Amino acid sequence: MKWQDIYRDKLITIKQAASMVKSGQRVLTGLATLEPQYIANALCDRWQELRDVEILTSNAMKPYPWFDKERSAAFKIQAGYLSAISRPLYQEKRIEYSINTVYSPSKWAEPGRSAPMMEADVCFLTLSPPNDQGFCSFGEQLWYSREWVKRSRLVIAEMNPLVIRTGGDNYVHVSQIDYLVEQPEPVPPFRISPVISPEEEEAAKKVGALVASLVNDGDTIQIGLGSVSMFTGFYLREKNDLGVHSEILTSSMIDLYKCGVITGKRKTLHPEKLVATGMFIEPEDYAFVNNNPVVELRDAFYTNNPAVIAQNHNQVAINNALAVDFTGQVTAEAFGPQMFTGVAGQLDFVLGAYLSPGGRSITVLPSTARGGTVSRIVSMFPEGQIVSLPRTYVDYVVTEYGIAALAGKSERQRAEALVDISHPQFREELRAQARKRFN
């Protein structure tokens, strides 16, 4: 049978797609910028006839009605990463947070031990229309989508002609999807542009210049999601032959490629390719990535596997943090026990860089928060603080006041190095705390 015939046979209406969800089922939705908006809204319209439908979402982009308090009997929300939309609901204890790194679900693939997103009753995705061979693209967010198609009991795709195509593993054949829905009017995928405050931007400029001193010609880089970390990429323009193996592609990476800085010629894995599993880029950069064979989106179980990452010699991981304590523990996702975002793939890449021959990991953060009233370098985390990176794997820490090289140092030496890069107004107090603790 021709794929065109398969496509026609699988076409259903948006209302029919939403009607296939039953009470008590677990429903997975495509994440972040590629949420299936029409199906999601149609499912929300059924709230009075449903009970205890578990919605699995990550980095939610739109305040769908299933988040509404009056619909709580119909929909139970579980988030794998908190966004500006879902964070207040988590703080009100109206949604649950699922604890995972990006790579970890593959380590517990057996039923009952895998992440909830690997055991969905229904999976709603957004795809591009099929090409001449019947293959659709997962667009700018691949992540686990290929595995979701294999493992979910029912897969329904919302076809959006505005979804981009890339190389790599970023495709699925129409024959592998159970049902297809066409958008009545194409809706542009959501766009995420990092927002950086004036305070952070001033610090980020200095941090970027310092990070550049730790990156060598020929290195393969990863830049994590975060206002300061994503900003640092623009300060690597004087480097040569950088490569990319990352969780996400950023606009700074595309800028470096266009400048001839990123070539990938010295990469030991996938040379000359920009490899990632998703992307968070500016609207003007979509034309560059669309149908560009240099850009390869691969399964997150591959891109974020530390053993795969380590196959790149001189892998450099650059990631954001909220705070660092004297021993080098890093929190990048929470304030005390209160989740703010999620660890995502930061630990995956720190471990990968640690195992990479010549690899380095760089943690970046402004020295202060809350308008300069709080130091992000602290003597000790408060009780209940969620730790994103264990101190044993933390390498370089960079603020606008310098670089602290922590590898190989004792607790006291680490504290001294971190105090040296703290904000001057807090140094005397921090030094006193270090002396009391370690001398």
Q: Do domains 3-182 and 198-438 have the same CATH topology?
A: yes
**Reduced 3-state DSSP string for the chain:** CCHHHHHHHHECCHHHHHHCCCCCCEEEECCHHHCCHHHHHHHHCCHHHCCCEEEEECCCCCCCHHHCHHHCCCEEEEECCCCCCCHHHHHCCCEEECCCCCCHHHHHCCCCCCCHHHCCCEEEEEECCCCCCCEECCCCECCCHHHHHHHCCEEEEEECCCCCCCEECCCEEHHHCCEEEECCCCCCCCCCCCCCCHHHHHHHHHHHHHHHCCCCCCCEEEECCCHHHHHHHHHCCCCCCEEEECCEEEHHHHHHHHCCCECCCCCCCCCCCEEECEEECCHHHHHHHCCCCCEEECCHHHHCCHHHHCCCCCEEEEEECCEEECCCCEECCEECCEECCCCCCHHHHHHHHHHCCCCEEEEECCCEECCCCEECEECCCCCCCCCCECHHHCCEEEECCEEEECCCCCHHHHHHHHHHCCCHHHHHHHHHHHHHHHC
Q: Residue 227: its pLDDT value, please? A: 83
**Domain 198-438 CATH (choose: 3.40.1080.20, 1.10.10.10, 3.40.50.300, 3.90.420.10):** 3.40.1080.20
Q: What is the pLDDT of residues 30-67, one digit of tens each?
A: 988 999 999 999 999 999 999 999 999 999 999 999 99
Q: Is the pLDDT of residue 109 over 70?
A: no
Q: Residue 248: its pLDDT value, please? A: 97
Residue ranges covered by each domain of the chain? 3-182, 198-438
State the catalytic residues. 247
Q: What is the pLDDT of residues 208-260, one digit of tens each?
A: 999 999 999 999 999 998 888 988 999 999 999 999 999 999 999 999 999 99
Q: Which CATH architecture has domain 3-182?
A: 3-Layer(aba) Sandwich (3.40)
Please give the mean pLDDT across all residues of the chain: 95
Q: What is the pLDDT of residues 129-165, one digit of tens each?
A: 999 999 999 999 999 999 999 999 999 999 999 999 9
Q: Residue 191: its pLDDT value, please? A: 83
pLDDT band at 198 (very low <50, low <70, confident <90, very high): confident
Q: Is the pLDDT of residue 329 over 80?
A: yes
